[in-house]
Amino acid sequence: MTKITAKICLSFKEQDSLTNTRIDIVKIKTYLPLLCAVALLAACDNDPVSETAIIAEAGYSDVASATLEVGLPAPDFSLQSLNDDWVKLSQLRGNKVLMIFYRGHWCPFCVGHLQDIQIMLPELEKRGYQVLAISPDDATGMQKMAERMDRPYQFLSDADLAVTDLYGIRKDEELPHPAMILLDDQGIVQWFYIGEDYKTRPSATQLQQVLDRLDSQ
- For 22, counting Cβ atoms within 10 Å of its Cβ (0-12 exposed, 13-18 middle, 19+ buried), the class is exposed
Torsion-angle region of 159 (φ positive above 0: left; ψ -120 to 50: alpha; else: beta): alpha
Is it the case that residue 32 has pLDDT exceeding 60?
A: no
Least confident of 6-20, 36-50, 97-111: 6-20
57-80 mean pLDDT: 96
**Residue 154 · residue 130 · CB < 8 Å:** yes
Residue 15 has a pLDDT of 55
Please name the amino acid found at residue 55: I
**Smallest Cα–Cα separation from 69: which of 61, 78, 77?**
61
9-15 mean pLDDT: 50
pTM confidence score: 0.80
**Smallest Cα–Cα separation from 179: which of 107, 125, 120, 103?**
103
pLDDT tens readout for residues 176-206? 999 999 999 999 999 999 999 999 999 999 9
Is it the case that residue 208 has pLDDT exceeding 90?
A: yes
**Residue 159 · residue 141 · CB < 8 Å:** no
Cα-Cα-Cα-Cα dihedral sign, residues 55, 164, 144, 93: positive
